[in-house]
Amino acid sequence: MAKVLITGSADGLGKAAAQLLVAQGHDVILHARSPQRAKEALTATPGARDAISGDLGSIAETKAVAAHANEFGPFDAIIHNAGIGYQERKRITTIDGLPAIFAINSLAPYILTCLITKPKRLIYLSSGLHRNGDGSLEDLAWEHRAWSASSAYSDSKLHDVILAFAVARKWKEIYSNSVDPGWVPTRMGGSGAPDSLAEGSVTQAWLATSQDPAALTTGHHFYHKRPRDFHPAAAKPEVQEKFLAECARLSKVLFE
């Protein structure tokens, strides 16, 4: 039995992964953005042990989520699933003055990675759209570029692959990988999405708990349990270091 934390597990892919892992007999801790959503998450996934609440759009609340997670003791795996889509026509900013897409999809996984006691495995949810992301990492906070929600989303999903690969390179004792779950019919993906929601949650659960030699690996990008091609910038140490440095500057949390 593995102890697994899943961020953003009140609905969609996070909920599907939580339900799958509970059905397999694992000890699952959920997360949702508010106390009410945390209650809903527990109702939706009977058998999960508990749920942490906290808005990952806030740096302070993200730090509090990390502190709460550490109260459960070391995890075997953490699935960084929480994220928002790209419907915003305007640049919506958080309490910290950052674009919500960047704060939740990119910066929050960085902060949680830094502050939660190192697990044995880390899984970061990306997207096929990450290949459209800007590998230069210029203007992460969209202070100078004309706003594009779809581009901001693609950037954020590239950031998740960069972070997964940076962790794999720097923390050799941890299995760290990213996952493209496919275009699935979640609230974000829309009802017309062509891929299977159930299948979209399998790979992250497999990476979190399986003893299959194919899952006991690090620094890879997966789709349906198979390595998949990725944006070439993600594998460059200088890009990884730039991303870590910018996240440290914006959050005042150091990657160590």
Angle (CA) 31-35-37 rounded to 5° is 65
Residues noted as catalytic: 153, 157
In contact, 53 and 38? CB cutoff 8 Å? yes
Residue 195's pLDDT is what? 59
| 256 residues of the chain, pLDDT tens digit each | 999 999 999 999 999 999 999 999 999 999 999 999 999 999 999 999 999 999 999 999 999 999 999 999 899 999 999 999 887 778 889 999 999 999 999 999 999 999 999 999 999 999 999 999 999 999 999 999 999 999 999 999 999 999 999 999 999 999 999 999 976 555 554 445 555 666 889 999 999 999 999 999 999 999 999 999 999 999 999 999 999 999 999 999 999 9
213 φ/ψ angles, rounded to the nearest 5 degrees: -50, -30
228's CB contacts (< 8 A; 6+ apart) are 180, 221, 222
Residue 199's pLDDT is what? 83
Distance CA 137, CA 220 (A): 21
Q: For the whole model, what pTM was predicted?
A: 0.95
Residue 182's pLDDT is what? 77
Domains of the chain and any CATH numbers: 3-251 (3.40.50.720)
Give the Cβ contact number of residue 107 at 10 Å. Answer: 28
Token digits of residue 255:
């990657």
User: Which one, of 133, 151, 164, 137, lies nearest residue 227 by Cα?
Assistant: 164
Q: Cα–Cα distances in Å, from 120 out to 131, 173, 211?
A: 28, 8, 12
Residue 20's pLDDT is what? 97
Beta partners for 123?
Answer: 79, 177
